[in-house]
Amino acid sequence: MKKYRKDFPILKRKINGKRLVYLDSAATSQKPIQVINAIANFYKTFNANIHRSIHTLGEEATKAYEEAREAVASFINAEHKEEVIFVRNTTEALNIAAFGLRNIVKGKLLLTEMEHHSNLLPWQQLAKLKHLELDFISFDKDGYLDEPEEKLKGASVLAITQASNVLGTINPIKKITEKAKEYGTIVVVDGAQSVPHMPVDVQKLGIDMLAFSAHKMLGPTGIGVLYAKKELLEKMEPVMFGSEMIKEVSFTEATWNELPYKFEYGTPHIAGAVGFKAAIDYLQEVGMRNVRKHDERITTYALKRLKNIVSIIGPKKAEDRSGLIAFTMGDIHPHDIATILNEEGIAIRSGHHCAMPLHRKLGIQASARASFYLYTIKEDVDALVEGLKKVREVFER
């Protein structure tokens, strides 16, 4: 995958005089020149608002925006393109999912203990508003999810991450959706860490709703996707109100636009959609199977090199993990680890990674996290290992 590095201009940067070693792709990925150019080209040659302007630029912008939707639909193998709703990011997608279901949910909302705050808070707040029970599927000491079976009883929704942003665990979504169907439970999947890193086929996996962001998969920030099955979207209520999402409006009443526009409001991130399509084209050129294979290779290597110098969180086997490794180093605070690594040009994430309850359950306050993508090379892992040795030296002197 080394050959792709030349497409990422930022990788040529020096940080504190050292080669940039970017190990924070789970927070946001870097962007290839093809995506950067696509966005610039939109603004240079066919910038216009969409769905309302009759002129040439408006037609071209509308066409590009809708082509982006088609590209996303085919990327996740959605049955209909109107099942793809453009939103700002995964967090917004999950809020629309939760509050769009407000007239459908009943009984119990089921989550897991490994959810990111973005897939916890919308459901937590919805449960408060609708006086519903909130229940959680736990995970074991190696970071594997418990069997959901008995907890599914009476759950109208199961909100679950496909790949944990802290443990790295890849959850068996297909097995879970099959079980959920027996109980009539709607399965909402947080795909923020999975869609960028592995083939995700919503039909094959039996996913009812899926949320993800463009910026973690080579695309720009400010645009993401809520996918939901058509029959579900038809039953759901809009969450944001205003222009674009309406059919007819009087002073006291309104009716909703057809799908997907019922859930898209105001002027969207058109340049973002154009950049998103370029990112998807790029990933399809590389092939998602190859992206996953590379993640697994780098993770295997990193697990082997890191296991003797840090305490690794989550599954021991790379095949069960996405391309990220969270870890701790005894008494040394993750912030201090990140600061010293930065002096060496190495970018990692430190903190609770928007999963405070998960860290509390693990009995730690924060962790450090190195995450990989298709441009990550073994030398990046080697630099991390050397950097961590320096961290030890500083704190043990």
Q: How far is the C-alpha of 315 from the C-alpha of 322, rounded, in Å?
A: 10
Q: With binding defined as CB under 8 A, does residue 394 bind other proteins? A: yes
Q: Is 121 in the site for other proteins (CB under 8 A)?
A: no
d(CA 356, CA 137): 16
220, 260, 323, 334: which one binds other proteins (CB under 8 A) = 334
CB 389 to other proteins: min, Å:
12
* Minimum CB distance to other proteins smaller for 266 or for 363: 363
Residues 126-185 that bind other proteins (CB under 8 A): none
Does the protein bind other proteins through residue 222 (CB under 8 A)? Answer: no
Span 303-332, contacts to other proteins by CB under 8 A: 332
Which CB, 132 or 338, lies closer to other proteins?
Answer: 338
**DSSP SS3 for 183:** helix
DSSP state letters, 280-332 = HHHHHHH-HHHHHHHHHHHHHHHHHHHTTTSEE-S-S-GGGB-SEEEEEBTTB
Q: Which two tokens stand for residue 73?
A: 């639909």
| Least distance in angstroms from the C-beta of 348 to other proteins | 14
The least distance separating other proteins from the CB of residue 338, rounded to whole angstroms, comes to 9
Integer angstrom CA distances of residue 314 from 75, 103, 137, 164 = 29, 37, 16, 9
Find, among 19, 364, 55, the residue nearest to 46 by Cα: 55
Q: Report if residue 254 touches other proteins, rule: CB under 8 A.
A: no
Q: How many residues bind other proteins (CB under 8 A)?
A: 20
Residue 166: helix, strand or coil by DSSP? coil
- The answer to whether 171 touches 160, Cβ cutoff 8 Å, is yes
Q: Which of residues 335-364 bind other proteins (CB under 8 A)?
A: 335-336, 339-340, 343, 350-352, 356, 359
244 binds other proteins (CB under 8 A): no
Q: Indicate whether 366 belongs to the interface with other proteins (CB under 8 A).
A: yes
Core vs surface per residue 263-277: b (16+ CB within 10 A) or e: bbbeebbbbbbbbbb
CB of 193 to other proteins, least distance (A): 20
| Residue of 1, 27, 354, 366 marked catalytic | 354
Q: Within 13 A of 226's CA, how many CA atoms are on the CB side?
A: 29
The answer to whether residue 368 is catalytic is no
Nearest distance in Å: CB 283, other proteins: 31
Nearer Cβ to other proteins (141/397) = 397
Contacts with other proteins, residue ranges (CB under 8 A):
332-336, 339-340, 343, 350-352, 356, 359, 365-366, 390, 393-395, 397
